[in-house]
Structure 1
Amino acid sequence: MIPARGGSKRIKHKNIRLFDNIPLIAHSINTAMKSNCFDAIVVSTESDEIAAVAEQYGALVPFRRPKALADDFIGTTPIVQHALQALSELGANPTSCCCIYATAPLMSAEMLRQAKATLLADDTVDFVFSACEFSFPIQRALLTDSHGGVVPFDPESIGKRSQDLVKTYHDAGQFYWGMTNAFLAPQPAVFGPRSRMHLLPDYLVADIDTEADWRRAELLYRLLQQESA
C-alpha cells in the first residue's frame, strides 16, 4: 500500500513530480513490482491526478482516501488501517501488508524481499521497517540557549568518546512491513518490542521534504545508477 496525498506543501505535487524522468511515485510502484512480494500494489490517495498516474504505472486505486485522512496532521497508521478496511469491504483480506512511501526512490526490491522474510520467519514479530544508524552520536548533540550560546543536549555524554556511547537509529522512511492484525490493532506498536529494524546504510536513505532534500536524493540516485551500470 502506497499512501500519496495531493496536498504536499513544501514541494508542490511532490508525489508525481518527475524524478529521473518519471513521477516520483512510479519509482516506488516499479520497485514493489520488481520485488515479486505482493499480490497487489494499491495506492491510497484523495487525488484524481495521483490516481491516474498510479494506474498508468500499474498500481491499483480501488478506493479514494477520505479528505479527513489527507491533511498535514494525519499519521501513516490511520491511512494504512483505512486502506486495509476498504480492501476488506472489497473482498480482499491479506494476512500481511507493506506500507511503502511514495518518496522512496532509493529503495530496492531486495530490501523489500529481505524485510518480508524477516517478518514471516518469526511469529513473535509484527513489524519490520527500514531504519538507519545515526551518523553522529545524538548524545553529543548541541543546543543554543536564549542568549545564543551553546549548551550540550546531554551534559553527561558530551565529553565521552563516540565508541563509548550506545548506537542509536532512526526510521528511514521507506517501508513498513506488518501483519494485518497488528496494523489493525487499536494501538499498533510499529516501534515496539515486536518490531525489527531492517538496517540500511545512510547513502540509501533520503527524506524528501524540501528542495535541498530533493537535490540530495537525485544525486544519490544518479551515483547508485552509475555504480550498478
Structure 2
Amino acid sequence: MRILAVIPARGGSKGVPGKNIKILGDKPLIAYSIESAKKSRLLSEIMVTTDDEAIAGVALQWGANIPFIRPKELAEDTTPTLAVIQHALEFYESRGDFFDAVCLLQPTSPFREDGFIDAAIAKFIESNADSLVSVLPVPHEYNPHWTFETNESGFLKIATGDEKLISRRQDLPKAYHRDGAVYIMKTDIVKQDSLYGKQLTYIESNPENYVNIDTLQDWEKATLLIKK
C-alpha cells in the first residue's frame, strides 16, 4: 500500500504566532512530526503543505518534501483540512503519482512514540476500515452518557438521547476523543469529500504524551512535557 504522509503547516497561526517553526525544546515544532514520519517504514512519501516560504525552508532542512507552495485561498482560518489533503493528492496525481491512502500528521500534536505511526498503519490495513484516528479515553465525568444539552424549551436533556442517566460509573460504555496525533484515510474516501467514511477504526495514544498546541498555555504544557 502506498501511503502519502501530509503535514499541514500554514503560516497564519494566531493562538501561537509562528508556532510551526517556533523552537520547542531544541527544534522547530514542525520538526517533531517530520522526524516521526521519517522513522516510519510504511510511509511512501513525506510532504509538508504550506503557504509560507519560511516554513517550507525549515521543513526542507528537516527532510520533508515541499512539492509546491500552497495557494493562499487554501490557507485561510476557515480552510478545511479535507480541502488541503485533496489539493495535495490532486497535485501528485497530475504528475502520475498515485497513493492508496493518506496519513495526516498535525504539527500541533508533536509527541508520538517511536513505532506509533507504523502501528496505526498496520491496524488500518488489517481492519480494512475506511479510516483510522488516534484517540484517548474520555474521563468518566465527561462521558457523553453523563453530559447534557438543551432542548427547544431550554431544559436539559441527556446528550446521547437516553431516557435516564446511567447511575454507576462502572456501567458507562467506554468513550474516546480524537487526540490529533494520527489520521489515516483511504484516498477513495478523500475523493468522496470525507475524512472518515463509514468504517472508522482507532488506535489509543499514550496519554502522557498528549498535547494539542493551539494556545500559549498549550505551548507551555508542551515545554513542560519535554522537560519531564
Question: What's 2:176 paired with?
Answer: 169
Alignment of 1:1-229 (within 5 A): 1-123=6-128, 125-136=129-140, 137-141=143-147, 160-185=167-192, 187-190=193-196, 192-223=197-228
Equivalent-residue separation in structure 1 for 2:167 and 2:222 (angstroms): 33
TM-score by length of 1: 0.84
| Runs of 4 or more consecutive aligned structure 1 residues displaced over 4 Å after TM superposition | 141-144, 151-159
Instruction: Give the gaps of 5 or more residues in structure 2.
Output: 1-5, 151-155
Alpha-carbon distance, 1:109 to partner: 3.3
Check conservation: 1:135, 1:202, Cα contact below 8 A.
no
Alpha-carbon distance, 1:81 to partner: 0.8
Instruction: Give the gaps of 5 or more residues in structure 1.
Output: 145-150, 224-229
Alpha-carbon distance, 1:156 to partner: 6.2
Alpha-carbon distance, 1:56 to partner: 0.6
CA separation of 1:168/1:7 partners in 2, compared to 1, >3 Å: closer, same or farther? same
TM-score by length of 2: 0.85
Equivalent-residue separation in structure 2 for 1:152 and 1:214 (angstroms): 36
CA separation of 1:202/1:9 partners in 2, compared to 1, >3 Å: closer, same or farther? same
Alpha-carbon distance, 1:45 to partner: 0.5
Equivalent-residue separation in structure 1 for 2:25 and 2:95 (angstroms): 35
Alpha-carbon distance, 1:27 to partner: 0.4
Q: Secondary structure at the match of 2:46?
A: coil
Check conservation: 1:152, 1:158, Cα contact below 8 A.
no
CA separation of 1:172/1:220 partners in 2, compared to 1, >3 Å: closer, same or farther? same
Q: What is the CA RMSD across the aligned residues, in angstroms? A: 2.2
Alpha-carbon distance, 1:158 to partner: 6.0
Equivalent-residue separation in structure 1 for 2:200 and 2:227 (angstroms): 32
Equivalent-residue separation in structure 2 for 1:73 and 1:84 (angstroms): 20
Q: Secondary structure at the match of 2:45?
A: coil
What's the CA shift string for 1:158-194, capped at 9, x where partnerless?
6722222222211111121122222222x3151x541
Check conservation: 1:173, 1:207, Cα contact below 8 A.
yes
Equivalent-residue separation in structure 2 for 1:91 and 1:128 (angstroms): 26
Check conservation: 1:140, 1:157, Cα contact below 8 A.
no
Larger deviation, residues 213-222 vs 51-60 = 213-222
